[in-house]
Amino acid sequence: MEKLENRYQKCLYFSANALARKTEKLAQESWSKVDLTPSHAYLLLLVIDEPGIQPTQIAACLHLTPSTVTRLILKLESKKLLHRTTEGKITNVYPTAKGSNMLPKLKACQQEFFANYAQILGENESTRLALQMLNVAGKLKG
Is 5 a member of any domain? no
Q: Name the average pLDDT for the chain.
A: 93
Average pLDDT over residues 88-110: 97
Query: For the domain that residue 128 is a member of, what is the CATH number?
Result: 1.10.10.10
Which of 11-15, 69-73, 105-109, 124-128 has the lowest average pLDDT? 11-15
Contact 41, 27 (CB under 8 A): no
Q: Is the pLDDT of residue 52 over 80?
A: yes
**What are 62's strand-pairing partners?**
none
CA dihedral of residues 135, 137, 138, 140 (deg, nearest 10) = 130
pTM of the full predicted structure? Answer: 0.88
Structural domain containing residue 63: 12-140
108 pLDDT tier (thresholds 50, 70, 90): very high
Q: What is the pLDDT of residues 37-47, one digit of tens each?
A: 999 999 999 99
pLDDT at 80: 98
131 pLDDT tier (thresholds 50, 70, 90): very high
Can you tell me the distance from the alpha carbon of 87 to that of 118, in angstroms, rounded to the nearest whole number? 43
pLDDT at 137: 86
Is 1 a member of any domain? no
Average pLDDT over residues 96-113: 97
> Structural domain tally of the chain?
1
Can you tell me the distance from the alpha carbon of 61 to that of 44, in angstroms, rounded to the nearest whole number? 12
SS3 state of residue 139: helix
User: Going by DSSP bridges, is the β-strand pair 82-87/90-95 parallel, antiparallel, or unpaired?
Assistant: antiparallel
Average pLDDT over residues 10-26: 91
Is 85 a member of any domain? yes
Is 23 a member of any domain? yes
Is 92 a member of any domain? yes
pLDDT at 142: 56
Q: Is the pLDDT of residue 10 over 90?
A: no
Can you tell me the distance from the alpha carbon of 95 to that of 84, in angstroms, rounded to the nearest whole number? 9
